[in-house]
Amino acid sequence: MTARDQFVYFGYSLGWGTVRKLNERTAYRLFDRFADRMWRKRGPSVRQYEKNIARVVPGASQAELADLSRECMHSYARYWCDAFRMPDWSRERLLSLEVTDLHYVTEAQESGRGPVIVCPHAGNYDFGAAFLATKYGALTTIAERLKPEKLFEKFTSFRASMGVEVIAAGTPDIMEILENRATTGPIVGIVGERDLSRRGIPVSFFGEEARMPAGSALVARRTGADLLPVGFWYSGGEAKARIYPPVPVDMECDEQEAVRKATQLWADQIASGIREHPGDWHMLQPLWTADLDKSRDPWQQDRSATGGDQRDAG
């Protein structure tokens, strides 16, 4: 069971309603204790995080990596505690997220096209989606299906009530849906550094090859929407966010090359945010090519057979 599944199961077993009714301090304390229990077990997720974060903070000692993994588990626990409690947050609370350089989103909205926002699995990106949808009216995003299915339905129903449209990963014609949303105005938000399709764009990420989904750059290229990287983190227990300047998307060159260049640029930008707040990056799975089992990776076989042709990937 992955760390994500364990946190979901923990919250679900406590009872969605129970977690929501607890006072905030008690709820966070419960999730923090569970995070410490997972950290002490040093399961595959914790060990993989330390392997990942060693690339972000080269030269860190094993003790320093362990401290960062504990910080990460607490950050991840807070993310999930907030996810269960957010249905009861007031509009004022949803708009309380401290966002640096929000004007980039406002300027994109004023152009008539919704910006395409791409961010890493860091801090509280769900809070960011709720904030943007509440402030600007609508946001469309992609999410992996949670188990049990009933929980996924609860999460998507709640998000819909705030103007966040959730499209399940793997939905047919997902690129057409995202392009339509970006063209007609809603913000498109993609948590973008983990390639679930195994068909992503090879980029240099902290000095090593990793693959990033092509979807955000592809939507921006095809619609002319601004492509905005965003960073999320916690500071003193409070969620924070920063909007980075628009990533240039070449509208003149070949689409494949334009998407490749834009993907590398936004990967560089989110890397800078991760480097500033490494303990808030919730990457608990293998990400870099060197960590993936190539013998069981159909993407590698496809690249060998096709010469590395790019395919639509969200």
Query: What pairs with residue 203 in β-bridges?
Result: 210
Catalytic residue among 71, 74, 121, 282: 121
Residue showing tokens 């860091």:
122
Contacts 24+ apart (CB under 8 A), 8-15: 8/80, 8/146, 8/147, 8/151, 10/34, 10/80, 11/80, 11/81, 11/83, 11/84, 12/148, 12/151
Query: What pairs with residue 190 in β-bridges?
Result: 118
- The residues, any chain, with a CB within 8 Å of residue 255's CB and separated by 6 or more, are 218, 221, 222
Catalytic residue among 74, 193, 277, 282: 193
SS3 139: strand
- The residues, any chain, with a CB within 8 Å of residue 115's CB and separated by 6 or more, are 104, 105, 108, 109, 182, 187, 188, 225, 226, 227, 228, 246
- 3-state secondary structure string, 44-102? HHHHHHHHHHHHHCCCCCHHHHHHHHHHHHHHHHHHHHHHHHHHHCCHHHHCCCEEECC
13 with 147: CB under 8 angstroms?
no
What gap in Å lies between CA 19 and CA 169, rounded to an integer?
A: 27
SS3 284: coil
76 with 3: CB under 8 angstroms?
yes
What gap in Å lies between CA 92 and CA 86, rounded to an integer?
A: 12
What gap in Å lies between CA 213 and CA 166, rounded to an integer?
A: 18
Known catalytic residue at 121: yes
148 with 138: CB under 8 angstroms?
no
Residues belonging to the active site: 121, 193
